[in-house]
Amino acid sequence: MANHKLTILATMQLVRNRNVPMLMETYREVTQKIETALLPLWAEFIGLAHNQLLALRYFEMIRNMFFSRITDNTLHNDFLVMLAPEAKGLVLDLNRT
């Protein structure tokens, strides 16, 4: 994650400044590319490869949570190591009920 710190922080600024039309459009373009690249991997990781639409909806929620929690001080691999299993665990718990 440290290799992509600048990209993550720039995307975070796009999220936080979506009220500016040009930044909102840039945010949409960036997130579309990220979703296209990551969705198959994400869906498989959380056990929803059979339901990509639901996996995308959950990815959007987790992405929003990620950007609300992330700061320059918390932008390190330990943060992701904690967040990823937490996100996957919720899906596993829901599947057990």
> Which residue segment(s) compose the domain that 85 sits in?
2-96
Q: Give the model confidence (pLDDT) of 41-76 as tens digits.
A: 999 999 999 999 999 999 999 998 888 888 878 888
Q: What is the dihedral of CA 46, 48, 49, 50, to 10 degrees?
A: 170
Confidence band of 77 (pLDDT split at 50, 70, 90): confident
Average pLDDT, the chain: 88
Minimal CA–CA distance to 43: which of 97, 95, 94, 91? 91
> How many structural domains is the chain composed of?
1
Q: What is the pLDDT of residue 2?
A: 64
46 CB burial (10 A radius; 0-12, 13-18, 19+): buried
DSSP 20: S
